[in-house]
Copies of this chain bind each other. A is one copy, B any other.
């Protein structure tokens, strides 16, 4: 009895769960692992699941898929679009959507496990599978490590993972070296003084303080970074006030920062802090702003030798031209922590989820940026096929490449 992967995908898509709340998803996974006869543990790093297939001597290959969804109101118009809601950490009721494709990651991983289980006579070694929570908070991998996942399962010789992305379905994108940026998430609380909306002179207006800060933060990238270097300073959320005629006492900004390495990270963080503090002073704030780092993601660096080896394996399996170098992505990941902590190589690749014809058309028209929804968009939705089958195949090819041959 094989898993109906398309139905599984649709089910997961309809039931997205926010970070560290992936209990239903973990339950579905647990059921399939049980069905496949794979030994596993649940509740690692709160809602994570890890399993192991022991198949004789040979390398230990870790395969990782992330499970969580995002507070995004789905607008794909798909018949199986999410209408789910959840409660975010601030206690707000929010819409929830698999706007980053982790439902596809989980489905492809279960498909690959089924294939690996069915082909144990063709390979030798150990496969550890990690279903990680809270990638979107940048803290799920560390939570699983803190909870002992590296001790409770065989240590990896290599860590592998993949992410669905707006490339044409069928295409795989991977490069040796820095594949994704480092990133920090900051929360900045600007402290003013509240009062009546008709008497601004008696207040220290945090809305104006926040606006001036946002405008000034733009100058980091526009003026202070070498134009040839990669840096992103995004203010992803801004919140202040409850009513038009009350000037609130404070404003909150949530920042997402990106850079290629630790040196750039230090420089950008210093610039952000300098600007945030000075803009509060310009407003005459009586207390300095509070800057909290919510998460820190290392750069995702692919081992060069392993990537070269894997690229060749993909080309062999799927045909020349399947693999492209997508350049460094400014997005970030916490998959690195598993490999960093274990001191072993990582290869993390992207695989396409866009209808190839639609992609080709947009490409010809020069409207890819505009027409093709990206991860985190309310319109993001991979075409189910051939995305799903290529995702399964890629995991199987990759795992087999780094596992051993069967004992003769």
Contacts and interface: CB of A to CB of B under 8 A. Distances in A.
Interface of A: 70-72, 88, 91-94, 99, 136, 181, 183, 185-187, 194-203, 205, 207-208, 210-228, 230-249, 251, 254-256, 258, 271, 274-275, 277-279, 281-284, 294, 327-332, 369-370, 374-378
B71 A243 contact: yes
A72 B246 contact: yes
A214 B208 contact: yes
5 contacts: A205-B234, A211-B238, A236-B242, A245-B256, A246-B376
A284 B255 contact: no
Given A196-B331, A198-B256, A198-B330, 9 more contacts: A88-B242, A187-B244, A198-B227, A218-B219, A219-B283, A221-B221, A221-B227, A238-B251, A241-B254
Nearest to A242: B71
Nearest to A369: B202
Contacts of A233: 222
Contact of A243 (B181, B237, B244): B237
A138 B83 CA distance: 35
Nearest to A221: B222
A236 B245 contact: yes
Nearest to A271: B284
Q: Which 6 A-B pairs have the closest CB atoms?
A: A237-B241, A211-B214, A278-B282, A244-B254, A198-B330, A197-B256
A197 B232 contact: yes
Given A196-B375, A223-B218, A186 B228 contact: no
Contacts of A213: 211
Of listed A183, A241, A243, residue having the most chain B CB within 10 A: A243
A232 B369 contact: no
A196 B328 contact: no
Contact of A376 (B194, B225, B329): B194
B230 A236 contact: no
A226 to B, nearest CB: 5
A296 to B, nearest CB: 12
A277 B283 CA distance: 11
A249 to B, nearest CB: 7
A279 B181 CA distance: 30
Contacts of A240: 237-239
A353 to B, nearest CB: 14
A332 to B, nearest CB: 7
Nearest to A285: B278
Nearest to A276: B282
Contacts of A208: 214-215, 218-219, 223, 235
Contacts of A199: 226, 330-331, 374
Contacts of A220: 222
A10 to B, nearest CB: 24
A36 B37 CA distance: 79
A301 B197 CA distance: 20
Of listed A205, A238, A378, residue having the most chain B CB within 10 A: A238
Contacts of A248: 236-237
A359 to B, nearest CB: 15
B197 A244 contact: no
A22 B139 CA distance: 44
Contacts of A195: 374, 376-377
Given A243-B70, A281-B274, A376-B246, A224 B238 contact: no
A370 B196 CA distance: 13
A249 B373 CA distance: 13
A321 B383 CA distance: 51
B374 A202 contact: yes
